[in-house]
Amino acid sequence: EIVMTQSPATLSVSPGERATLSCRASQSVSSNLAWYQQKPGQAPRLLIYGASTRATGIPARFSGSGSGTEFTLTISSLQSEDFAVYYCQQFNNWPGTFGQGTKVEIK
Amino acid sequence: QEQLVESGGGVVQPGRSLRLSCAASGFSFRSHAFHWVRQAPGKGLEWVAAISFDGSNKYYADSVKGRFTISRDNSKNTLYLQMNSLGAEDTAVYYCARDHSSGFYDLWGQGTLVTVSS
């Protein structure tokens, strides 16, 4: 099973600032990496797939990069609605496995 | 609009059974594989089970293999999860999720809470 490790566990950011979240795979997953956003009491929502492709309706301030074992989700200018938990998921090997999540909180 | 709506959660005693349902609308249900993903209170996401578009292939996490059964009824646009021999470790919000076709999940239901407690 591929283990996904996210860092940091918690990221404190002021509104308007940039947030950079990391996700590392225990072995190469090529570009088969997705990012999800989850707000309290809500289901996860797909943000990014294929490491860098934004899902339908996702604002351009969200961007993904990386391949192989190292991936990054960047939120260029945090808005109030972006404070949430973010999960990465590899789907290169079955079944897809999730990272443990990064909580983005208001500084 | 495209939607998944789970139901069937609740409080159940250890060792008992429960069946979850996930009703789909607004898209071609029979064209997609589906998954169940759960989230224990305060924890992360855990994949539970998956089923192919026609129901011919089913996959399970080791933690539920032999106890849970995933199924679907394409005539009713509904996904199911039969959960037997429930234990406290199965307490979680259970989400159904649509497989985009590549293995990531592009549509999620709102979740249904299963609490296993005596």
- Over residues B26-82, the pLDDT tens digits come to 999 999 999 999 999 999 999 999 999 999 999 999 999 999 999 999 999 999 999
Mean pLDDT for B13-23 is 98
Which of chain A's residues have a Cβ under 8 Å away from the Cβ of B34?
A: none
Helix (H, G, I), strand (E, B) or coil at A10: strand
Q: What integer pLDDT is reported at residue A94 of this predicted model? A: 76
Nearest-Cα distance to chain B for A14, in Å, is 24
Of the candidates A45, A49, A101, the beta carbon closest to that of B44 is on A101
The tally of CA atoms less than 13 A away on the side-chain side of residue A89 is 28
Average pLDDT over chain A, rounded to whole? 96
Any chain A CB within 8 A of the CB of B1? Answer: no
Whether residue A95 is predicted with pLDDT greater than 90 in this model: the reply is no
Nearest-angstrom CA–CA distance, A79 and A85: 14
Determine the residue of chain A that is closest to B45 in CA distance.
A98
Any chain B CB within 8 A of the CB of A58? Answer: no
Any chain B CB within 8 A of the CB of A87? Answer: yes
A24: confidence class by pLDDT, cuts 50, 70, 90: very high
Cis peptide leading into B14, omega within 30 of 0? no
Q: Distances from the Cα of B114 to the Cαs of A85, B7, B13, in angstroms?
A: 22, 10, 11
- Partner-chain contact B105 A46, CB within 8 Å: yes
Whether residue A23 is predicted with pLDDT greater than 90 in this model: the reply is yes
Q: What integer pLDDT is reported at residue A107 of this predicted model? A: 87
Which helix (DSSP H) or strand (DSSP E) does residue B97 occupy?
A: strand B92-99
Which of chain A's residues have a Cβ under 8 Å away from the Cβ of B111?
A: 43
Which of chain A's residues have a Cβ under 8 Å away from the Cβ of B102?
A: 32, 49-50, 91
